[in-house]
A and B are shown apart, each in its own frame.
Chain A
Amino acid sequence: DTGVSQNPRHKITKRGQNVTFRCDPISEHNRLYWYRQTLGQGPEFLTYFQNEAQLEKSRLLSDRFSAERPKGSFSTLEIQRTEQGDSAMYLCASSSGQGSTDTQYFGPGTRLTVL
């Protein structure tokens, strides 16, 4: 169990560019979640997957954002036509999806800076 990993850890981009982040969950975890955390705030839910199915999306996830989990393992989050307001830490979490103690384990995050 190597924990949740995210790449890249930092991304600096210019406004209008597209960016893609990757999340590798804990092995055999069925559920994968994306959150966004801005400075001085707690994380806000974006979306989550049960295996490869995207089951819930926040209204925060505008049409410029898309997330995939094609084989039920790793996931990608793409932001098209980035805006300065997209600057934030993007956190990924995973959970087993089983039992009553379904704890979400977080990765280190990808810090996005849009210039």
Chain B
Amino acid sequence: AQTVTQSQPEMSVQEAETVTLSCTYDTSESDYYLFWYKQPPSRQMILVIRQEAYKQQNATENRFSVNFQKAAKSFSLKISDSQLGDAAMYFCASQGGSEKLVFGKGTKLTVNP
């Protein structure tokens, strides 16, 4: 069984600053994928970034990057130059051995002007 843990229920960051959201996971699969999804208030969930476990290089999408530590089963998300529009719930998720996504409980990110 897969589990995903997000230990930070809430985080806040000043506009233009950098913030890191933590995620740890557990899986017995050798081939799996990791994701960060963003869910703005009353809006639908969108994919922020994905990482294939077999790739050693950390994924990057514009201001979003991950720190994937496979041995430690850690998958943190770094948001650089934070913008007001980044305010949302962020969910870490894993996928392996099955098509389903397993999500953490989420981290609420507040961006202060």
A interface residue numbers (CB < 8 A to B): 4, 31, 33, 35, 40-45, 48, 55-56, 58, 91, 95, 100-109
Contacts and interface: CB of A to CB of B under 8 A. Distances in A.
A56 B98 contact: yes
18 contacts: A33-B101, A41-B105, A41-B106, A42-B4, A42-B91, A42-B105, A42-B106, A43-B101, A43-B103, A45-B100, A45-B101, A56-B99, A103-B47, A104-B47, A105-B47, A106-B37, A106-B46, A107-B44
Contacts of B100: 33, 45, 48, 56, 58
Contacts of B46: 106
Chain A CB within 10 Å, residue with most, of B101, B103, B105 = B101
Given A91-B45, A107-B44, A48 B91 contact: no
Interface in B69-113: 91, 93, 98-106
Contacts of B91: 42-43
Nearest to B99: A48
Contacts, number: 50
Contacts of B37: 106
Given A103-B47, A106-B45, A42 B99 contact: no
Interface residues of B, number: 20
A43 B102 CA distance: 8
Contacts of B99: 31, 33, 48, 55-56, 95, 102
B44 A45 contact: no
A31 B101 CA distance: 13
B31 to A, nearest CB: 10
B40 to A, nearest CB: 11
B45 A103 contact: no
Interface string B19-36: 000000000000000000
